[in-house]
Amino acid sequence: MLPPKRTVQYTKYDGTLHWRHDLLLLGEDNHGTWLGGQQGATLQRGHEPPIEAPVDFVQLIAPNVMWTAIFNSAGGKYAIYVDVTTRPRWVTRDRVELIDLDLDVVLHNNGSTELLDEDEFDHHAQLLAYPQDLIEATRRAAHDLIDQLDTRTEPFGAASQHWLATLANHRHTPKETNRGAGKPEPAPQRRNPGIP
């Protein structure tokens, strides 16, 4: 039997719907709540057609930090993808909501780190009138994340491996599907919160 699911809903600063996914609740540790998505899990940005996760991944929802992190299994485009966000808000026991603040920090499979989407952040900060303290906090969070990923400070070291293994233990659980015998061609890839 699969674990219960939790909904992760991102919006942009103006309330526009952003990425949403329903993930398996794997458990908690001192870093926060760990959720998991199996290969083929549905991911949807706003009202766009949904896409499927290309690999297994786990997501950490950590309390009182301005980020959420996705850790991909082997074969993911990135090893780790961290969205800079507002602090997570569990609006019900089954649903967490966050505001995506544009900046992302990634750990490439070759071990290098990179800050993404600075142009998008600058554009939205002006267009959506981000408060100055939010701009400063967002930039500070992004640069702190670069340091943490560079040094593999936990939870960006080995912490995710236990949870990826936990997710893998559920891999052979029959998955509800109505796709029939054939698997459709994957939708064109678009950036999502860490999965591509």
**pLDDT one digit per residue (tens) for the chain, 196 residues:** 889 999 999 999 999 999 999 999 999 999 999 999 999 999 999 999 999 999 999 999 999 999 999 999 999 999 999 999 999 999 999 999 999 999 999 999 999 999 999 999 999 999 999 999 999 999 999 999 999 999 999 999 999 999 999 999 987 544 443 333 333 333 333 444 454 4
Q: Report the DSSP beta bridge partners of residue 115.
A: 105
Tell me 166's DSSP state: H
Contact 138, 121 (CB under 8 A): yes
Q: What is the pTM of this model?
A: 0.86
Which residue ranges form the domains of the chain, and what is each CATH number? Answer: 5-167 (2.40.380.10)
What is residue 50's three-state secondary structure? coil
